[in-house]
Structure 1
Amino acid sequence: MIESILREIRIHRSFLITTHENPDGDAVGSSLALAGYLKRLGKDVTVHFCDPVPELYRFLPLADSVRQDLPDQDFDVCFVLDVGEFRRAGKLVNECRRIGMFINIDHHLTCDRFGTINYIDSAAAASGVLVYRLIKAAGHDIDYDTALALYTSIITDTGSFRYSNANPEAFAIAGELVATGINTWSIAEKLYESQPRQRLELLALALSTLSFSANGDCASITVTLDMYEKVGACAELTDGFVNYPRSIRGVEVAVFFREIQPHLFKVGFRSKGKIDVSSLAAAFGGGGHHNAAGCTLTGDLAEVRKQVFDHLETAL
């Protein structure tokens, strides 16, 4: 599989790189790492996200080159990273007719096989790990900028190496990346110690919605459109909110209800390991990993909460 991808890189010139809506650290880090690598090979590279790069990750090299539009040109290859479902790459990519082939690189347990080549490994800690494997298989070193992006990918998707996906490979790769000279404290400070005031104000509102299932093994929090307006915050500031209810002793599954439009909610699930939340999300048309998954549901908040908690009660 890796050799097939490297062959396409060798024989083609123009590349498009994209990832999922509302990109997280793995989506941004893996995409920018791959972009930097292809640029070093002299390739013509465009990085397109349907949503802007969150402010949190704008310190990464090439972050300012990411576009929300698509240039009027043909692309030999489109790399689609970390999306899980092709639709999450956004309308422009989904409907583009100027792409020769798609290469799907992902580590989601539930993943569409939409690519001409599908490089999927759910045992990988992050999609950045798969990009790392490609670069190393090609016989090339990891430069400083690529190391910075890959380290961000891995540290964010493993929860700073706290999650169960923090396997020996993730630690080994991180050690090699640190050896390139990247400053791990500087990265951690940018990711975790430089929060805008609005994020904490929004978190305070979200925690006030904390609720539990009857036996206490499921907990949830909610963010509504009114909350964003009240504190002047935006959706990207909610990254990591779901970990607060999951951190409660006795809670096995945490749920985060995030209103994205009136009567439309993103629902995020996080598990401590006993429950496969990817199957929970799949029951509602979503997907993800064993311990982290999500879906989108329509209805008012009370209806959506009842749907989810009724299903969770059966699962738990």
Structure 2
Amino acid sequence: MNNGTIRAILERIESARRILVASHSSPDGDAIASTLALANALREMGREVVAFNADPVPQTLQFLPGAASLVHDLRDVAPFDLGFLLDAGELRRAEAPLKELCATLINIDHHPYSEPFGEINYVDEKASATGALIYRVLKEGGHPISPDVALCVYTAILSDTGSFRYSNADSEAFRIAADMVEQGGINPWDVAGGLYESQDEKRLRLLALALATLQVSACGKFASLTLTDEMMRRTGASHEHTDGFVNYPRSIRGVEVAILFRQIGPDAYKVGFRSKGRVDVGALARQLGGGGHHNAAGAEVQGALEEVRASVFSRLQIGSATD
């Protein structure tokens, strides 16, 4: 833990009155839950807080305290004394002019190669989730963890560790989760119910179409699913309904890397990667102009589907051969 950096963050909070808390667009559980954990805590400290994301809160995360207060447009807002961009990796992923709006901008993140866009950059790629870094800041500042904050911190860690199934589920992740249950009064079943037992019917209909596209490489190490615009139209689903789809091909015995190809334009695909650990998909995503972690990453790739798929599978075969 970098206590000097955390103390510098606490000093900025102490001197600020109006604060913006934001995260990356197309938010996942860690992005939304970390944003709300910090925003709720800052409000409890008496600060005027705006929580922002360029995209709507996914339906499965709308149970989190403060989710309804998240704004999606920063036009015509007054400037902020202090701003936080969480879990983003790059400033552009906020899809908002944060530098212009905030007198001071702080970057809190656990992505490797996180862009140092902040006046303060609190980046720890070994942390299980950005929510764990928010917890460290609040604990170092002596701020009591309220039930609202505890629910958000717990959800951030549960989400980004794949319900404690991924390799980033370290001892700190379990300690923080235990603290949230013991001190914050969190009921793990309530959180699991919100995340996993409240799915939209559209999501399951879309998943049925996606599973029919399953492809496994000849070597058996790589498998993919594909989602097209036509599938989205048929089911009435949106991109938020695709969260977690990439884990289905990864669950196949022998598969080391799973890929989800999601169409985002006539000849453009968002490619999501999940690795079981042997292959660094973060490095692969960076080759394609994207980014992410060793085991979870993504990029946007231009081209027809078969060209994109062939390019990705070819790079994976080369990468796994040299891994």
- Shorter-chain TM-score above 0.5: yes
> Counterpart of 1:24?
28
Amino acid paired to 1:205? L
Shift of 1:232: 1.1
Amino acid paired to 1:145? D
Shift of 1:285: 1.0
SS at match of 1:282: helix
> Counterpart of 1:116?
119
1:86 aligns with 2:95: no
1:142-291 counterparts in 2 under 5 A?
142-179=145-182, 180-291=184-295
| Percent identical | 53
SS at match of 1:75: coil
2:79 to 74, 77, 91: 74
Structure 2: stretches of 5+ with no match in the other structure: none
Structure 1: stretches of 5+ with no match in the other structure: none
Which string of whole-angstrom CA distances, capped at 9 and with x for unpartnered residues, describes residues 83-109 of structure 1?
11211111x235x62321210000011
SS at match of 1:270: strand
Shift of 1:126: 0.3
- Taking structure 2 as the reference length, the TM-score comes to 0.95
Give the whole-Å Cα distance in 2 for the aligned partners of 1:126 and 1:83.
Answer: 12
Shift of 1:37: 0.7
1:305 aligns with 2:309: yes
Shift of 1:262: 2.0
> Counterpart of 2:296?
292
1:35 to 32, 39, 42: 39
1:134-145 counterparts in 2 under 5 A?
134-145=137-148
Give the whole-Å Cα distance in 1 for the aligned partners of 2:100 and 2:127.
Answer: 31
8 Å CA contact 1:265, 1:296 repeated in 2 = yes
Amino acid paired to 2:126? A
Give the whole-Å Cα distance in 2 for the aligned partners of 1:93 and 1:41.
Answer: 26
8 Å CA contact 1:110, 1:278 repeated in 2 = no
Shift of 1:72: 2.1
8 Å CA contact 1:32, 1:149 repeated in 2 = yes
Shift of 1:261: 2.1
Give the whole-Å Cα distance in 2 for the aligned partners of 1:57 and 1:112.
Answer: 27
8 Å CA contact 1:154, 1:174 repeated in 2 = yes
Give the whole-Å Cα distance in 2 for the aligned partners of 1:315 and 1:214.
Answer: 16
8 Å CA contact 1:246, 1:253 repeated in 2 = yes
- Taking structure 1 as the reference length, the TM-score comes to 0.97
Which string of whole-angstrom CA distances, capped at 9 and with x for unpartnered residues, describes residues 195-244 of structure 1?
11111110011011110122110001011110011111111000000000
8 Å CA contact 1:110, 1:289 repeated in 2 = no
1:128 aligns with 2:131: yes
SS at match of 2:298: strand
- Runs of 4 or more above 3 Å deviation: none
Give the whole-Å Cα distance in 1 for the aligned partners of 2:21 and 2:266.
Answer: 32
Give the whole-Å Cα distance in 1 for the aligned partners of 2:32 and 2:234.
Answer: 29
Which string of whole-angstrom CA distances, capped at 9 and with x for unpartnered residues, describes residues 107-134 of structure 1?
0112111111000001110000000000
Give the whole-Å Cα distance in 2 for the aligned partners of 1:93 and 1:247.
Answer: 40
1:62 to 66, 73, 91: 66
